[in-house]
Structure 1
Amino acid sequence: MSDLKPNSILIIGAGTWGCSAALHLARRGYTNVKVLDPHQVPSSIAAGNDINKIMEHKELKSPNADAGSIAFTTFTRAALQGWKTDPIFQPYFHETGFIVCGHTPELIEHIKHEEIDQLAGDYTALESADDFRNTMPPGVLTGDFPDWKGWISRSGAGWIHAQKAMVSAYNEARRLGVSFVTGSPAGGVTALIYENGDFVGAKTADGLSHRADRTILAAGAGSDALLDFEKQLRPTAWTLSHIRMTPEEAQKYRGLPVLFNIAKGFFIEPDEENHELKICDEHPGYCNFVSDPDRPGEKRSVPFAREQIPLEAERRAREFLRDTMPQLAERPFSFARICWDADTVDRAFLIDRHPGYPSLVVAVGGSGNGAMQMPAIGGFIADALEGKLCEEVRDVVRWRPEIAVHRDWWSTQNRFGGPNRVVDFQDVNENDWTHIVYTE
């Protein structure tokens, strides 16, 4: 494969990573970049189309840190710099702080050794219910926090308005000359174009072929339908819900640190426009397993969109609220949906030139941590395209099917909560979903 600068680049996917890649490529002077997506930006099914996502960062100072931790720190350090200094993203970062906690001895030990590096950051221990309550204004945290313990960090963490940041990246990329073809059928990719041993573009649902010198596959959980990832990706879904508050309540809840119990859930302060408080229950995830037409006898997880959540997820979210903010525990949900991402085997990103197809770059595998990388991830994707990914991340995020040969599709991947197992949507009955009524 020639390392000469390509004349044309095609990006499949206009979500968080696709928009970031388009922006960074345009900033590097690429003048023929096209992005395809079956949905308008922001896509209704993109994981990043969300009023807020957690931004958590710590400097890793442990001398025994493994390669994966070092790589993740490299990514998040670059992202944090972007959130703080890049005018395209800076308005959408809210450095309100972050609380990570658990409610059993096993979870608390896990946090100590896996979730935080106590040699780094400004972590302060929270040992009692009063400690938790005192992190926020009076009357916000009124729960008993039964057996909860945790830590709070006030700097370099909080939340991002993911939807606004994605639209900002999209608008700036367009201003710099990137062409976006969105909506179905014109932007709906049905297949990659394979010729002479390589992928040279994509076909869309309107029958057109879009050819390019290089193709970047960044379609999130949908990427698995367009390329054989040799079991490296597992589309996995989580659940989110909103409670609408009055303007006066929203003001009271303004500027709160994110509170995250690694086996119960988390909440993020209300957004400014709709005054909706976001609550997520925590669990190892849902998959939607169906027969794999390419591998007889095997199954694969196939994403689908739905603006409802299983009733069991609603119950978990309300249990979380009863522990923390019981005054809100019975409020009706104003919105809920399932949110898809793509898990790799080791939860490290997958950003690499495909070793078998010289013109194809894969940029997938957010594994639940993709949205907060938005300001900088496109630069790493551009580096992969140009063959110059930095040493700290290159080997960690490489194409690595050898670790997926015997993949356990049911692995919880070090996630906790709920039934402490992955649940198949095929086992959720139609009557076991919420029935939120949406009005204009």
Structure 2
Amino acid sequence: MTGFKGYFNRLAGYGHSSNALKGVAEYLASQGVRFLLGEQKGKVTELLYRGNGKTRRCVGVRTADGKAHQAAKVICALGAYGASLIPDLGKFAVARCFVNVRDLGFFFEPDPATRLFKLCPLRAGYSNSGKDGTSLPPLDRLPPPQDFIPKEDEEKLRRLLRETLPWTADRPFVDKKMCWFSDSKDSEYCIDFVPGTNQSLVVLSGDSGHGFKMMPVLGKWVVDLLHKGRQERDLWKWRSEDVASPQRDWGSSVSWRIGEAKELSDVIREHQAQFRARLSR
């Protein structure tokens, strides 16, 4: 392509996330792990506790169908949704979405099964902050029209295609989604026991989008924590800072991000105004 330079990295790799997760699930099932799936019996709505003070323990979970499931240890690895079950997570991990990685954006190679490829524009991202300042992905459906990405992001994608794959630049997008993940200002995990739960509740959160590439080794870190009974790595310990402070909006200051972070509510209002303007023509 004229005007572009690059290099071939023989050490680079690519992981197909859905196939990787499918492989892990099949292996775990073969080892006797039982999965509870579905919008009702597989959706955890509440953590169950027993005791107070130093004796307080997380003893299980309740699912959307109303059933309680007892457990000796509970591991919360919900990513962007973590603060919905552990509110204090919202003090140092923010649910943020990117509709993302360098310059204009990037794309993945086509999926052999669907023959589709994914495009992602780069920007500082979107938060969905509630009244208490905690950002969570929308827990219900967005108001209509729902199948959209912000206009400025779509314009970036069109420019990216014109400069790299010009024969595709005017083709309609098959699907448009916002991808939510757990964002933290230092790009490190929190892998630790949640304070006040007497080592019965473990949290994994705040990976700033780097979680998938660590999938082959992440389990070992959790097992180490369970065996040792304490987190020895300072960077992985439970945070105490409150990101609702003026220093909270670190999303716009990360070196590889472009532009200013926005609230999802502002994006929705802008899109609805554009939609109404089209209808009135």
> Same fold per TM (> 0.5)?
yes
Segments of structure 2 that go 5 or more residues without pairing to the other structure are 276-281
Task: Tell me what 2:59 maps to.
Answer: 200
CA distance 1:164–1:413, shift in 2 (3 Å): farther
Runs of 4+ in 1 over 6 A off after TM superposition: 388-391
Task: Tell me what 1:217 maps to.
Answer: 76
CA distance 1:356–1:345, shift in 2 (3 Å): farther
Aligned equivalents of 1:338, 1:404: Cα separation in 2: 23
The one-letter amino acid paired with 1:223 is G
Task: Tell me what 1:226 maps to.
Answer: 85
Check conservation: 2:194, 2:238, Cα contact below 8 A.
yes
Aligned equivalents of 1:272, 1:226: Cα separation in 2: 37
Check conservation: 1:283, 1:415, Cα contact below 8 A.
no
Aligned equivalents of 1:159, 1:321: Cα separation in 2: 21
Q: What's the TM-score once normalised by structure 2's chain length?
A: 0.83
The one-letter amino acid paired with 1:191 is E
CA distance 1:408–1:152, shift in 2 (3 Å): farther
Check conservation: 2:91, 2:242, Cα contact below 8 A.
no
Higher strand share: 1
Aligned equivalents of 2:158, 2:183: Cα separation in 1: 27
Task: Tell me what 1:163 maps to.
Answer: 18
Instruction: Report the Cα offset of residue 160 of structure 1.
Output: 1.1
CA distance 1:383–1:413, shift in 2 (3 Å): farther
**2:96 counterpart (236, 242, 245):** 236
Q: What's the TM-score once normalised by structure 1's chain length?
A: 0.54
Q: Does 1:281 align with 2:121?
A: yes
Instruction: Report the Cα offset of residue 308 of structure 1.
Output: 3.2
Task: Tell me what 2:154 maps to.
Answer: 314
The one-letter amino acid paired with 1:353 is F
Task: Tell me what 2:278 maps to.
Answer: none
Map 1:36-115 onto structure 2 (within 5 A).
none
Instruction: Report the Cα offset of residue 171 of structure 1.
Output: 1.2
**1:353 counterpart (179, 193, 196):** 193
Task: Tell me what 2:35 maps to.
Answer: 180
**1:368 counterpart (184, 192, 209):** 209
CA distance 1:353–1:407, shift in 2 (3 Å): farther
**1:425 counterpart (264, 272, 277):** 264
Aligned equivalents of 1:269, 1:426: Cα separation in 2: 32
Structure with larger RCO (C-alpha < 8 A, sep 6+): 1
The CA RMSD over aligned residues, in Å, is: 2.5
Task: Tell me what 1:386 maps to.
Answer: 227
The one-letter amino acid paired with 1:410 is D
Q: Does 1:396 align with 2:230?
A: no
Instruction: Report the Cα offset of residue 167 of structure 1.
Output: 1.0
The one-letter amino acid paired with 2:248 is W
User: Secondary structure at the residue paired with 1:192?
Assistant: strand
User: Secondary structure at the residue paired with 2:160?
Assistant: helix
Aligned equivalents of 1:217, 1:234: Cα separation in 2: 16
Check conservation: 1:307, 1:338, Cα contact below 8 A.
no
Aligned equivalents of 1:409, 1:171: Cα separation in 2: 40
Deviation larger for 327-336 or 338-347: 327-336
Q: Does 1:263 align with 2:103?
A: yes
Instruction: Report the Cα offset of residue 180 of structure 1.
Output: 0.7
User: Secondary structure at the residue paired with 1:321?
Assistant: helix
Deviations 1:311-341 (A, max 9, x none): 2211111122223222222221112211110
CA distance 1:425–1:405, shift in 2 (3 Å): closer
Segments of structure 1 that go 5 or more residues without pairing to the other structure are 1-141, 241-259, 293-298, 435-440
**1:325 counterpart (165, 188, 206):** 165
Deviations 1:40-87 (A, max 9, x none): xxxxxxxxxxxxxxxxxxxxxxxxxxxxxxxxxxxxxxxxxxxxxxxx
Task: Tell me what 2:245 maps to.
Answer: 406
Aligned equivalents of 1:265, 1:181: Cα separation in 2: 37
Q: Does 1:301 align with 2:123?
A: no
Check conservation: 1:143, 1:324, Cα contact below 8 A.
no
Aligned equivalents of 2:20, 2:207: Cα separation in 1: 17
User: Secondary structure at the residue paired with 2:177?
Assistant: strand
Check conservation: 2:90, 2:134, Cα contact below 8 A.
no
The one-letter amino acid paired with 1:159 is Y
